[in-house]
Amino acid sequence: MTQMRTLFDKIWDSHVVQNVTDGPAQLYIDRLYCHEVTSPQAFDGLRRRRLRCFRPQNIFCMPDHNIPTHDQDKPIADPVSRKQVETLKSNTAEFGLSYYGVMHPDNGIIHVVGPEKGLSLPGMTIVCGDSHTSTHGAIGAIAFGIGTSEVEMVMASQCVLQQKPKTMRITVDGKLAQGVTAKDLALYLMAQLTTSGATGYFVEYAGEAVRSLSMEGRLTLCNLSIEMGARGGIVAPDDVTIDYVRGKDYAPKGEAWDEAVAYWRTLRSDDDAVFDKEYRFCAAGIEPRITYGTNPGMGIGISESIPTLDKIDKDSRASFVKSLDYMDFTPGQQLLGHKIDYVFLGACTNGRIEDFRAFASVVRGRRKHADVVAWLVPGSWSVMRQIKAEGIDKTLADAGFEIRQPGCSACLAMNDDQIPEGKYCVSTSNRNFEGRQGRGARTILASPLVAAASAVAGCICDPREFLQ
């Protein structure tokens, strides 16, 4: 009898070169993405061993973390950032790799560019020295972050040694309500499972609510898989996937396209496939979400209050109190109407064209609050071109907003877009750790709709007020 397999099993098994006895699998990798932060040591390792990249045509590199989001035509002011970006440029030239540098028309955040160029395709294995590589699982690929030594391993052999993760399926029934986005769904799941609830697992997302998401929504959902502790997330390819990939630069063409689509349609979990763990949720009860603490799992519905101490497990109370002290919040506090200082739209989580469309839909005909500093940062130059082509830039300008140049920006404090100490930022990024957006910065994770409404109101605001 044929064993029923999960989608993850099918892709993983087809990429196993060999299994090491009592050890990991040697896994073939279709795509390696490199940015400037986690690659220098890998290149140095190749030099020490006098090796070249085994399949350079499968490696794509671009700076994104350290680059400024203004004056990109000028030398980078920060010497450390400048050195990292220049090192990546010289390394890619030496090793003959595809490189999309600063101001290149295809530059951007690597987890935004990969899907939009068709570099990330269903059935692939994709790795990068960055935890949010899980983003590409939305395409129907196995995608996960790796360490620098593993980056070197893939460069040298196009393979990586990996223990096979366990499998988890999260099914979300029903449809998300108006004003509720993929970001809200992800924040809800993190609150339910906690930031360690999927540790050791690769998560397949299923159900009507997931199927109803656009590809860009699925990219957001899979991007945040890592914040539940998961190795990665994946959505089975369907018509949404195929329509998204069709015609992209690196997508198959002609007969190769027809053959690829036929294969992609086989990429689904068998009806009787057994997962190591399963969860089921209902979409109907999910509302726009915000975080109140210092990990992405510390979140609430926007109309709810921060939990009181008696609702927190005794073993977690010390860290709960520490988080609230950092954020200057109190147990039981409601955050609707709480004054904010900054709004950030962008990152590999929410820096795509749909995110800018959503933000613009709220601020259209309104004005940015005078006390709010807003950083609106496209995830790539391609997104920037779409913003201009659709007139979104004019809508935003009329509302008092400016669009910055592409990059990781205020997602993390590795460039000059940093939130000042003690200031509150409603952010569409993926992490709200202490100091993540700058020393002493207070980050409230939210969707583009919540960010837009808050930017107009000058305080945490329910976007449904503007969508009625």
Contact by Cβ (8 Å): 207, 235: no
Model confidence pLDDT, tens digit, residues 73-129 = 999 999 999 999 999 999 999 999 999 999 999 999 999 999 999 999 999 999 999
Interatomic CA distance for residues 103 and 58, integer angstroms: 22
Same domain, 231 and 260: yes
Same domain, 239 and 376: no
Domain boundary among 230, 253, 277: 277
Please indicate, yes or no, if residue 80 is contained in any of the structural domains: yes
Q: Which structure tokens are listed for 149?
A: 């030594």
Report the amino acid identity of residue 103.
M
In degrees rounded to 5, what are phi and psi of residue 214?
A: -70, 170
Please indicate, yes or no, if residue 23 is contained in any of the structural domains: yes
Average confidence score pLDDT of the chain: 97
Note down the domain range covering 48.
Answer: 7-277
Same domain, 232 and 316: no
Q: Give the chain's domain count.
A: 2
Same domain, 139 and 60: yes
Same domain, 293 and 266: no
Please indicate, yes or no, if residue 322 is contained in any of the structural domains: yes
Q: Which residue from 134, 109, 93, 145 is spatially nearest to 415, judged by alpha carbons?
A: 109
User: What is the crossing angle of helices 353-363 and 381-389, to 10°?
Assistant: 40
Interatomic CA distance for residues 97 and 85, integer angstroms: 15
Please indicate, yes or no, if residue 283 is contained in any of the structural domains: no
Same domain, 384 and 238: no
Contact by Cβ (8 Å): 464, 288: yes
Model confidence pLDDT, tens digit, residues 379-421 = 999 999 999 999 999 999 999 999 999 999 999 999 999 999 9
Please indicate, yes or no, if residue 141 is contained in any of the structural domains: yes
**Residues lower than pLDDT 50 in the chain:** 1
Domain containing residue 188: CATH number = 3.30.499.10
pLDDT of 128: 98
76-81 contacts, C-beta under 8 A, 24 or more apart: 76/102, 77/416, 78/415, 78/416, 81/414, 81/415
Model confidence pLDDT, tens digit, residues 166-197 = 999 999 999 999 999 999 999 999 999 999 99
Same domain, 125 and 242: yes
Please indicate, yes or no, if residue 1 is contained in any of the structural domains: no
Interatomic CA distance for residues 98 and 79, integer angstroms: 25
Same domain, 249 and 317: no
Same domain, 319 and 216: no
SS (H, E, C) the chain: CCCCCCHHHHHHHHHEEEECCCCCEEEECCEEEECCCCCHHHHHHHHHCCCCCCCHHHEEECCCCCCCCCCCCCCCCCHHHHHHHHHHHHHHHHHCCEECCCCCCCCECHHHHHHHHCCCCCCCEEEECCHHHHHHHHHCCEEEECCHHHHHHHHHHCEEEECCCEEEEEEEECCCCCCCCHHHHHHHHHHHHCCCCCCCEEEEEECHHHHCCCHHHHHHHHHHHHHHCCCEEECCCCHHHHHHHCCCCCCCCCHHHHHHHHHHCCCCCCCCCCCCEEEEEEHHHCCCEEECCCCCCCEEECCCECCCHHHCCHHHHHHHHHHHHHHCCCCCCECCCCECCEEEECHHHHCCHHHHHHHHHHHCCCCCCCCCEEEECCCEHHHHHHHHHCCHHHHHHHCCCCECCCCCHHHCCCCCCCCCCCCEEEECCCCCCCCCCCCCCEEEECCHHHHHHHHHHCECCCCHHHHC
Interatomic CA distance for residues 277 and 167, integer angstroms: 7
Same domain, 34 and 88: yes
pLDDT of 2: 62
Domain boundary among 237, 253, 277: 277
**CA torsion angle 178 182 186 192 (round to 10):** 30
Contact by Cβ (8 Å): 273, 4: yes
Domain boundary among 222, 242, 277: 277
Same domain, 333 and 259: no
pLDDT of 22: 87
Strands of the sheet containing 159-162, edge to edge, are: 16-19, 25-28, 159-162
pTM of the model as a whole: 0.97
Same domain, 257 and 312: no
Q: Which structure tokens are listed for 377?
A: 């940062």
Between strands 373-376 and 342-345, the pairing is: parallel
Interatomic CA distance for residues 430 and 229, integer angstroms: 13
Please indicate, yes or no, if residue 2 is contained in any of the structural domains: no
Interatomic CA distance for residues 34 and 89, integer angstroms: 11
